[in-house]
Amino acid sequence: MNNTKIKAVMDEVATEAAERDELIQCIAVALLAKKNLFILGDTGQAKAYCINAFRKRITGAKQFERLMSKQTDEEQLFGRLDLSSIIPGNMPHSELEKDTSYSVKLNEVKKAHEQYEIDGKAESLEKANKLAKELNAIKEIVCAVKDTAPKIITEGKIPDSHIIFLDEIFKSNDGILNSLLTALNERVYTNEGQTMNIPAISFFSASNEIPDFSEPENQILKPLYDRFDLKVVTEYVAEKANRQAILKQKQTPAVNANPTTITLKELCEMQNEVKRVKVPDSINELMDDILCALRRKEIHISDRKFFNYTPIVQAAAYINGHDTVSAEDLMILKNYFWTTPAERDTISDVLSEICANPIQSRINDLIAMADEAFEEFKVDIENRRAFKKLRTELIKVFGDLQSIECTSDIDRDKINDACVQLEALSRQMYEMKGFTVIPLKEAYEQAA
């Protein structure tokens, strides 16, 4: 694992912008996981600065940047139609040059023309003229036998770029919305019946507001918002010491003669290493606990979002120097799960609570399930099926407690205490029905 360079870039950008560690981490995660990032914050909070400071250190990556407005049109983002491609019997020069016979003959014409410019002789001009006629004949043949579908000139536009920064993306007009949606989500662009792949690694955007999606005119923008996997909220610099440090830096700027850079090839190698970071079953179990805890707090987490969390935490683990995802790496999900800024604190609290002590959190969830089942049993105690249902649930919870992997005596003691608590519930259930008590361990072994 070689995360040295990405860490160095993060550290350098962090020294240039105070209190932006969370944003910088999310930029790095987005690039490593090939995800999109949206930044919400007031004007003058170094949102664009951090993005630009980071992406300019990715050498060899084609970059595209545009400040969006209602006047921004599709040509400005995706390129324009090459008019030469729609003239009968013609095709763009860039396409013609891909033909070997045309390219060879073109070089002969160029050399003949250069010779005529040197000597000015009639025979040199005649030779150049003859070769030009042959070139034109080859062109007619190539245009006749090759694909002459309309071509879009995409050089320097989104379909030609690896890292794209669309500032104030919600100011886009409806006319280009569908193109942006497919570009962000599927990394493709379709025009004139042709679909082309976009080599984009990440899309970035920043804004000082999120549209009110409850308003009918803004509902069309919600799918665009959903295409941004990671989201960050920035604030003005809070600490006086940090403000003073940035002021001094602005007043006496020091030039970094050798900034750390990452080549596009190196970034691709890092992305492949990220994919090899292991996600153990215990983390998936923990993630299920997190999902349930968030949904209980009425935080909407779609199945699509939950099932696609893996690349985000793999990238976070890679940055942290881990070859296997650990509980602490899941904290990056505080920038993945929220939809509205109001949800951020709740999500962060749940992640902190569960990830700080994952085994205790798992135990608490299992005991809560048992308690809930017991309360349902008491309400429906006269129903013959109620006893069997609760007994089955208690046995299952007991089994789940036994399957928790422990690495310390403290955790094993916690599980034993939970089993005692569960056994007390089971005994109470039997006594309430007047049945002979069967210990949970014995019932569990019989069921197995």
List, as one string, the DSSP characters of 207-276: ES----TTSGGGGGGHHHHHT--EEEE------HHHHHHHHHHHHS----SS---EEHHHHHHHHHHHHT
Distances in Å between the Cα of 92 and the Cα atoms of 98, 108, 143, 210, 362 are: 10, 20, 10, 42, 63
- Note whether 214 and 172 are within 8 A (CB): no
Both tokens assigned to 77 = 């983002």
Q: Give 274's contacts (C-beta < 8 A, 6+ positions apart).
A: 32, 33, 311, 314, 315, 318
d(CA 18, CA 441): 56
Q: CB under 8 Å, gap of 24 or more: what pairs does 424-433 form?
A: 425/370, 425/371, 425/374, 425/394, 426/391, 426/394, 428/374, 429/374, 429/377, 429/387, 429/390, 429/391, 429/394, 432/378, 432/381, 433/381, 433/387
CA-CA distances (angstroms) from residue 278 to 314, 326, 330, 351? 8, 9, 13, 20
Print pLDDT tens along the chain (448 aa): 689 999 999 999 999 999 999 999 999 999 999 999 999 999 999 999 999 999 999 999 999 999 999 899 888 999 876 655 556 666 666 677 778 888 888 898 888 898 888 888 888 888 888 888 888 888 778 777 766 666 777 888 999 999 999 999 999 888 888 889 999 999 998 876 778 899 999 999 999 999 988 888 888 889 999 999 999 999 999 999 999 999 998 888 777 778 899 999 999 999 999 999 999 988 998 899 899 999 999 999 999 999 999 999 999 999 999 999 999 899 999 999 999 999 999 999 999 888 877 777 778 888 888 898 888 888 888 887 888 888 899 999 988 888 887 766 777 888 888 888 998 998 998 888 888 888 888 888 887 7
Distance CA 263, CA 57 (A): 8
Contact 224, 170 (CB under 8 A): yes
Q: How far is CA 26 from the centre of its chain?
A: 9
Which secondary-structure segment (H or E) carries 311?
helix 310-319
What is the spatial distance between Cα 199 and Cα 209, in angstroms, rounded to a whole number?
29
**Cα separation of 221 and 276, whole Å?**
35
| Residue 390, burial from CB neighbour count under 10 angstroms (0-12, 13-18, 19+) | buried
Rounded distance, CA 86 to CA 74, Å? 19
pLDDT for position 146: 66
Reading the block at residue 344, the tokens are: 């951020």
Helix (H) or strand (E) holding 195: strand 194-197
Say how far apart CA 105 and CA 140 lie, in whole Å. 13
Name the residue among 339, 131, 320, 142 with its Cα closest to residue 230: 339
Beta bridge partners of 230: 37
Per-residue tokens: 231: 């989201």
Identify whether the C-beta of residue 418 lies closer than 8 Å to the C-beta of residue 361.
no
Neighbours of 137 (CB within 10 A): 11
**Strand pairing partners for 196?**
189
The span from the CA of 314 to the CA of 271, in Å, is: 10
Helix (H, G, I), strand (E, B) or coil at 63: strand
Question: Which residues, in sequence order, are bridge partners of residue 232?
Answer: 39
Q: Under DSSP, is residue 372 helix (H, G, I), strand (E, B) or coil? A: helix
E strand or H helix at 187, and its extent? none
**b/e for 79-89, b at 16 or more Cβ within 10 A?**
beebebbeeee
Q: Which among 405, 415, 408 has a CA at the least distance from the CA of 441?
A: 415
* Site of tokens 């990671």: 230
Closest CA to 35 of 164, 167, 173, 213: 164
The answer, as to whether pTM is greater than 0.85, is: no
The reported pLDDT for the residue numbered 219 is: 87
- Tokens in use for 52? 């630009």
Contact 231, 40 (CB under 8 A): yes
Separation of first and last alpha carbons in the chain:
42
Distance of CA 444 to the CA centre of its chain: 43
